[in-house]
Chain A
Amino acid sequence: MQEKPNIILISADSLRANHLGCYGYPLPTSPSIDRFACQGTLFENNFAPAIPTQPSHTTIFTGQHAITHGVVAHGGKAKLGRGTPFLPEILLGEGYTTCAVDTLFRERIWFGRGWEYIIDPSLHHTFYASVTQEELNAGAIRWIETVPKGPFFMFIHYWDVHYPYTPPDRMRGLFYKGGNPTDPNNHALDEWWDHPVGAMARDTWLRTSNGLVTDPNYVTALYDREIRYLDDGIAALCDALEKQGIAENTLIMLLADHGESMTDHRIFYDHYGLHDCCVRVPMIVRWPAGNLRAGSRYAPFRQLSDVTPTLLEAAGSELPEDLDGQSFLPQLTGQEEPSGYDKIVGLESTWQSKYYLRTDRYKFILARYPDLLGNPDRELFDLAADPNEDHNIASSEPQIAAEMEKELEAFIAQKMEAAGRTEDPVRKEGPVAVEIWEQHRG
């Protein structure tokens, strides 16, 4: 067997952790992913330090915090510096054959760095996120079966769970408890139409043979059906590795770039807001030859900037000095006890411009610009008493809020100084999509 492992990094865009069975969801959305988790290590507290897609994937591939690499918004002005370490580029230099089954390079050029092969079946679609797991798997499996002669690194980016939620017809009937999905007297989604993405949904994929979908539970069921469909794809990919006889020494890391808000916090079926539904993301690692304890669960805080150092260490590569993330490989393989961060700092600057500081007990959210939902600039949640982050206690616990704000600002200042920045990148970028939202509402 070759010494270096093959590495497959799977990103399931918009996959919310607690809609998977292995993360406690009561509906059977993910039998194959649950089985996969039983064969590897599941991270219970893994966080996205930047959302949504472009900032998060930039963090995944650079091992840097977004304040360091500067890409804080989806569709923002910032570009990734050419000298920034980039995972596929480093692995290519280490002798890996690299292949992206992905679309991201079409939107931001740095996502094309380091790939010897790019497979992009989304070219057959008008909207790239309409590409299905079956199309991606067809390209990925064919490549795995025919191309690599030594260790390979493959990145597969599944879009099924991302809106529009249009699961295949064979999923019809799953996960909806009944009722009338198109009841004209149900106005629970009306507020969503005030958002450009909601209006887009209303005008396209929420149309049915009985009229417009009005029941949020039905939209959630469509989302869950997409997870179930993706789950089939994960099973097919794992089966193909078995058939090829390479599953043993292939490290598979399955994660999400961000989660999804269903209707939480008046954010409808989208991925903004820095609540746990969006920033606490699934991550599962399986590597049979790596002596991972099957079915283990990893509780300490980890974050997506740890992906690059961990995968580099698994590949036997030297780590660049300018990474913010830390490898968890020694903990994963049992050489060290599981450990992690005592706090996570994250950000967004697309629909809102905000930072969060999360500890085991509290979440503090600080806005750089007022948000269009009318939330206060400072929010504090006691996660022990209020895990869904429904009750802002910043006014009733001013001392805790002030201490967390001070700690957050110190972290931002320290990261900016280390990166040689004179301006806060979130303040500089601003909420890049908000003008359109304002126009839409106006």
Chain B
Amino acid sequence: MSRKPFVREVSKTGWYFKHPRYLRYMSREVTCVFIGAFALLLLCAVERLSEGQAAYESFLAALQGPWSVAGLLVVLVFAIHNATSWFNVTPKALPVQIGEEFLPGKFIVIAHYAVWILATLLILYFAGVR
């Protein structure tokens, strides 16, 4: 008997609309664009800082315009989505075995949030926010 297996075509684009879990994945992956854009902004900040106080202050003033604030808020939303979605899957990558049992994943997730809050407070402290 002759064999003639049929291969179904897979859409190279658009496959992520086929199931909510793929869209969820893409929403996590797309955050990298915004995180990358913010990293470039930080590089610009360093560059302006190297040009002197006046240059840096005009850069900071430009960031306080309504469009800049709106853009930064969008970046913040994506950055939080990036951080939380990765925190929530960390127990899969870093299971902690104690004797015959595994530490429940929620403790590993909570530890990440705790370190995040601590780091944020430290940065705010050193930034002079009291």
Q: Do A and B bind each other?
A: no
Write the residues of chain A forming the contact surface with B, with a CB cutoff of 8 angstroms: none
Q: Which residues of chain B have a CB within 8 Å of any CB of chain A?
A: none
